[in-house]
Structure 1
């Protein structure tokens, strides 16, 4: 099977993606997308390079300082790539480059040029073109390069609505990679459960996760891992991971690997000593009940907002039952009283980015890409997370046994014609299964 250069997806799929873009743009127009650049960590040390997801989606090319130019002129379609030329000296210092000569064959593009010739070639190639599809501020170095070229188009459009909608629906090849990302992430969480015990540091457990990612071919985490013991779990994006895990506390781990550019995203919460207390069980079961209900309801035709409203009711009823909230359930929901303990959404799209692109609203072209109401009907091929949680601060005026408990349970699901498929089911979440594994 022919693969694009260093990609895990057949080259033909990248060609089909570009053709889908061509089909949606005006005649006599161009699409321009820049790659990411290396980012300096300090002095002359760089962070590990991570390609821009949009650029990768259309090229499968994992080098910095590159640009993709798609031209549709009087029905003729051309793909042009600008990239770093071969340089034996620089490659001795900093690693191999594909080079201009090999790019057309390896990446199945029509033409390739040195990135240094961008301004001159753009002026030549864009002659008589009327429109440019470009997303400003996606890559600042690209903005500067385009401005320096002094090439102007009479019309300007953003390519994001086109590509966001395409990326929202995963191909069979993408689904296979996301299944692998979910499985590796699940194995890492299983390892974390087995290796957690009182008096270990949060960062030690983070290291167990990273070890398991690497062991199965996922070099990097998809995002900064959260290993939050005790009340740290009530900080939604806690990443310090520098405290000691205490006997009797819970630990919340939100972590996922990036495998072949695709993200996994799992959260599990479990007792540091392997045994839930009664109060911990009560809160945990409420979150688990909500999550299982949500997964059962997130099927084709349903929407995140509708299911989220159902989850809010389940949680509010449970919090009243436990004495954490008092009052009439409908009134508490109207007052959003639950937001003291549940202040985030039910889930998000997942793919090349952990918070992946795509509209959440009914009208995918309405410009509201984040979606104030996530009421878009789910369709086959979408992948999303399902992650209800409850977070009870130790400062809350509540029964003592519930203070300082933070719980979130998160899985990744693929919407299928039969309902959905959980991509991260390998890691346990039932209380009995967790306790058995940790024993």
Structure 2
């Protein structure tokens, strides 16, 4: 768990970058699933990054430049309500939240509309995520207009509305030691879930049964939820990049692609592994799998300070293009296959994305039109793949084979750290693990 001092430190850093003005950061609203039942609540990532406060109906206000370099952090949250807690569980209330989360001031959320115009008065700028939520935009503009109406008394309204995400995205892009510690644990739990899936997969099971094994491992080790909807894709389903139905029957002779990771204390893990349902790769599956694994090794080797963001992708692409040529999937030279983008018939996505509080985390990939250099503290995924759909000019023994291998990688001072190493990924490791499955356990019984 991240210490509270880390959150207050982030608020001070943000205020120093704002220099003078008021930032308004709300958390996410609760969402109704059906009738009076809600979806499981998940806070807004920006709000949580600055507060560590996980309750709904809360707003953070940071007043920067109160007195030279001094700033003030104010939390608006739900009041303490014992009757509510009988039905729905504990809530802090303003007084306890101020002490527990190190805010300068705390108030009931009901006072927000009353107090915001006062806080915005005579401030040069208001910082918010303008355009993210139209209803919230209207409230901010309403508060600014309320201040503007006091101009005859000498009060001035903020002259600028600035996007707070420009500052926060850059802060969140670089993970501190406390964040990396949580991400390592999330990766460890998720890696164990992939091992469990490999150990328990049998021909005849349904994809959702394997998904249940993942969920079991996530929760029993303390993760609060999956970081995203798990992809459990057998056979041809693995050639659908965002397949989430997870309801098909698994067959011997097919591969199973699993893209799944847990969320722990707000931070995401994101792992993909591909393995044979019956525990043994056939020659065509092995050829494509080894190709993707080699491409990933080249990409991970390119994750180091000084290399640009696209270096891992380009390294993977060189290996994949040569492999596609060698296997008869593409024709011509490596340069020709890349320049013509013929490889995109089998590899149509890039090789990674930022990772953190969001599984596709915030942060710019380019600056001034150029790919940005990798720096220590950045955390990303490395995930090349190969997806072969039936086609007249494609060798039949490769049809309906989808393979992706994904790891979470942190840039270090001297290279990189692979966070997700507990999930087996070589052919030998996978086949050995699946060979040792308990023979007596049958998963083919159908309930219903």
TM-score band, normalised by the shorter chain? Answer: over 0.9
Aligned counterparts, 1:366-377, within 5 A = 375-377=371-373
Q: Which residue of 1 aligns with 2:255?
A: 250
- State how far apart, in whole Å, the 1-side matches of 2:401 and 2:33 are: 36
- State how far apart, in whole Å, the 1-side matches of 2:359 and 2:220 are: 21
- State how far apart, in whole Å, the 2-side matches of 1:80 and 1:392 are: 54
Q: Which residue of 1 aligns with 2:60?
A: 68
Aligned pair 1:402/2:402, yes or no?
Answer: no
Partner SS for 2:360? coil
Q: Which residue of 2 aligns with 1:320?
A: 325
Q: Which residue of 1 aligns with 2:440?
A: none
User: Which of 302-311 and 91-100 deviates more?
Assistant: 302-311
Q: Which residue of 2 aligns with 1:422?
A: 418
Q: Which residue of 2 aligns with 1:83?
A: 77
Aligned counterparts, 1:172-211, within 5 A = 172-211=177-216
How far residue 138 of structure 1 moved from its aligned partner, in angstroms, is 3.4
Q: Which residue of 1 aligns with 2:428?
A: 432
* Matched positions, count: 422
Aligned pair 1:9/2:2, yes or no?
Answer: yes
CA contact (8 A) 2:122 2:158 kept: no
How far residue 37 of structure 1 moved from its aligned partner, in angstroms, is 1.1
- State how far apart, in whole Å, the 2-side matches of 1:78 and 1:180 are: 33
How far residue 105 of structure 1 moved from its aligned partner, in angstroms, is 0.6
How far residue 144 of structure 1 moved from its aligned partner, in angstroms, is 4.4
Partner SS for 1:65? coil
Partner SS for 1:428? coil
How far residue 86 of structure 1 moved from its aligned partner, in angstroms, is 1.1
- State how far apart, in whole Å, the 2-side matches of 1:203 and 1:395 are: 29
CA contact (8 A) 1:231 1:394 kept: no
Partner SS for 2:93? coil
Partner SS for 1:101? helix
Residue 351 of structure 2: which of 346, 356, 360 is its match? Answer: 346
Q: Which residue of 1 aligns with 2:446?
A: none
- State how far apart, in whole Å, the 2-side matches of 1:44 and 1:420 are: 47
How far residue 344 of structure 1 moved from its aligned partner, in angstroms, is 0.5
Partner SS for 1:227? strand
CA contact (8 A) 1:36 1:139 kept: no
How far residue 141 of structure 1 moved from its aligned partner, in angstroms, is 5.1
CA contact (8 A) 1:119 1:146 kept: no
- State how far apart, in whole Å, the 2-side matches of 1:103 and 1:209 are: 35
Q: Deviations over 1:306-358 (max 9, x none)?
A: 23122212111111111111223222211100001101011011111100001
CA contact (8 A) 1:26 1:131 kept: no
Q: 1:387 to 1:396 in 2, by over 3 A?
A: farther
For structure 2, the residue ranges without an aligned partner over 5 or more in a row are 148-156, 436-448
Q: Deviations over 1:397-434 (max 9, x none)?
A: 31110010000000001111121111000111110110
Runs of 4+ in 1 over 4 A off after TM superposition: none
Q: Which residue of 1 aligns with 2:123?
A: 129
CA contact (8 A) 1:264 1:354 kept: yes
Aligned counterparts, 1:232-271, within 5 A = 232-271=237-276
Q: Which residue of 2 aligns with 1:5?
A: none
How far residue 174 of structure 1 moved from its aligned partner, in angstroms, is 0.5
Q: Deviations over 1:219-261 (max 9, x none)?
A: 2100000000001000000000000001100000000000111
- State how far apart, in whole Å, the 1-side matches of 2:434 and 2:189 are: 19
Q: Which residue of 2 aligns with 1:48?
A: 40
How far residue 148 of structure 1 moved from its aligned partner, in angstroms, is 4.5
- State how far apart, in whole Å, the 2-side matches of 1:53 and 1:146 are: 20
Partner SS for 2:223? coil
Aligned pair 1:334/2:327, yes or no?
Answer: no
Q: Which residue of 2 aligns with 1:22?
A: 15
Name the Cα RMSD after superposition. 1.4
Partner SS for 1:12? helix
Partner SS for 1:102? helix
Q: Which residue of 1 aligns with 2:381?
A: 385
- State how far apart, in whole Å, the 2-side matches of 1:166 and 1:326 are: 45
- State how far apart, in whole Å, the 1-side matches of 2:138 and 2:42 are: 21
- State how far apart, in whole Å, the 2-side matches of 1:203 and 1:394 are: 25
CA contact (8 A) 1:182 1:424 kept: yes
Q: 1:426 to 1:214 in 2, by over 3 A?
A: same
TM-score by length of 1: 0.94
Q: Which residue of 1 aligns with 2:229?
A: 224
For structure 1, the residue ranges without an aligned partner over 5 or more in a row are 1-7, 367-371
CA contact (8 A) 2:120 2:126 kept: no
